[in-house]
């Protein structure tokens, strides 16, 4: 079956003055009208009947289905950033690497579209069986990824939703989400991120994390704390009473991650906690000095006065 909007390998069925006619080997009921033309200027030299050619299928300026050996900047199931080369009352036209520009209907636009501006779009087939672009990427991204939990993947942020998080196109094909609580630094649409798959949902959508797997992250966070301790002569003015904002400003991590990492370092007897902050444990010391419980109790009592 010849598929609009996709790269596919077709077989040369007939040669003509205008080019070669291609057919799909998978269609046993193929008829002459089901064949597609590859124009003469794109036919590889020495092509014979029965040869296979990898082509992209789209509609030309006369709305005829036609083949090209050129691969456009995006195909079905992918997204990409394309430039606006023309605007009209009904939509915009984008450069996607083929002779005929790609149409972005007005109803598929999000926000203000500017001439020469670049926007993230995907492909879909409209009711008239024509290829068009859309900025609503939720309806073009796939949910059948091959990934498993803890796989490291690369994606592109395409939308930020308050209270939810950052929507990500993984590999430019698959739909994923970085939850808002995972985002410690600002992200922007179009930004490339390396993330870990934290969960594969039943519907195939991916939950993503900017952090490594929990055990690995504690080690990396702990290493970050130790490096900063060494730089600050063995002391950091942070402890389990510090505000999350202070921890994030100084270490770039959440309070929960901070407490887990410090707990691991304390178990390894590398640091100890005081009422003023964290200190590195001297190599000669077998046990850290005990914290004075009275100070902690008085601080809590004082907060209610």
Residue 294 — pLDDT band, cuts 50, 70, 90? very low
Q: How far apart are CA 136 and CA 53, in angstroms?
A: 33
Averaged pLDDT for residues 78-85: 93
- Judgement on whether residues 59 and 24 belong to the same structural domain of the protein: yes
Domain of 134 in residue numbering reads as 79-139
Position 52 pLDDT exceeds 60: yes
- Judgement on whether residues 272 and 228 belong to the same structural domain of the protein: yes
- Judgement on whether residues 219 and 288 belong to the same structural domain of the protein: yes
161: CATH:
2.40.50.140
Q: Which of 188, 209, 230 is the last residue of a domain?
A: 209
- Judgement on whether residues 250 and 274 belong to the same structural domain of the protein: yes
Each residue's pLDDT tens digit, 209-248: 987 656 666 678 888 898 888 888 889 999 989 999 999 9
Integer Rg of the chain from CA: 29
- Is residue 237 assigned to a domain? yes
Number of domains the chain contains:
4
- Judgement on whether residues 179 and 113 belong to the same structural domain of the protein: no
- Judgement on whether residues 190 and 221 belong to the same structural domain of the protein: no
Each residue's pLDDT tens digit, 100-134: 999 999 999 988 899 999 999 999 999 999 999 99
- Is residue 133 assigned to a domain? yes
Q: Which of 209, 228, 246 is the last residue of a domain?
A: 209
Q: Which pLDDT score is estimated for 222?
A: 86
- Is residue 146 assigned to a domain? no
Q: Which of 191, 209, 227 is the last residue of a domain?
A: 209
Contacts of 128 (CB under 8 A, 6+ apart): none
- Is residue 147 assigned to a domain? no
- Judgement on whether residues 271 and 232 belong to the same structural domain of the protein: yes
Each residue's pLDDT tens digit, 63-79: 899 999 999 999 998 88
Q: How far apart are CA 23 and CA 19, in angstroms?
A: 13
- Judgement on whether residues 185 and 245 belong to the same structural domain of the protein: no
Can you say whether the dihedral through the CA atoms of 52, 58, 62, 68 is positive or negative?
A: negative
- Judgement on whether residues 35 and 85 belong to the same structural domain of the protein: no
Q: Which pLDDT score is estimated for 25?
A: 81
- Is residue 73 assigned to a domain? no
Q: How far apart are CA 133 and CA 120, in angstroms?
A: 10
Each residue's pLDDT tens digit, 12-42: 999 999 999 999 887 655 565 579 999 999 9
């Amino acid at each position: 079956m010849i598929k609009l909007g996709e790269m596919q390998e077709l077989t040369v069925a007939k040669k003509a003055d205008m080019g070669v006619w291609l057919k799909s080997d998978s269609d046993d009921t193929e008829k002459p009208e089901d064949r597609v033309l590859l124009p003469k200027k794109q036919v590889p030299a020495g092509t014979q009947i029965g040869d296979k050619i990898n082509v992209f299928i789209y509609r030309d300026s006369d709305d005829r289905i036609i083949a090209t050996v050129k691969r456009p900047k995006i195909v079905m199931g992918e997204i990409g950033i394309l430039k606006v080369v023309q605007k009209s009352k009904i939509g915009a036209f984008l450069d996607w690497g083929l002779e005929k520009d790609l149409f972005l209907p007005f109803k598929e636009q999000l926000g203000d579209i500017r001439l020469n501006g670049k926007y993230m779009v995907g492909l879909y087939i409209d009711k008239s069986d024509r290829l068009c672009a859309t900025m609503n990427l939720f309806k073009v991204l796939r949910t059948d990824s091959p990934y498993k939990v803890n796989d490291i993947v690369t994606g592109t942020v395409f939308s930020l939703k308050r209270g939810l998080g950052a929507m990500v196109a993984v590999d430019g094909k698959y739909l994923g989400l970085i939850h808002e609580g995972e985002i410690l630094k600002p992200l922007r649409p179009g930004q490339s991120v390396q993330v870990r798959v934290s969960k594969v949902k039943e519907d195939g959508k991916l939950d993503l994390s900017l952090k490594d797997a929990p055990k690995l992250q504690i080690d990396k966070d702990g290493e970050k704390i130790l490096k900063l301790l060494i730089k600050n002569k063995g002391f950091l003015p942070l402890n389990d009473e510090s505000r999350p904002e202070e921890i994030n400003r100084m270490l770039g991590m959440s309070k929960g991650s901070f407490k887990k990492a410090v707990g691991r370092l304390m178990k390894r007897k590398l640091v100890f906690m005081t009422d003023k902050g964290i200190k590195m444990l001297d190599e000669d010391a077998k046990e850290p000095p005990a914290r004075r419980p009275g100070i902690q109790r008085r601080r809590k009592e004082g907060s209610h006065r």
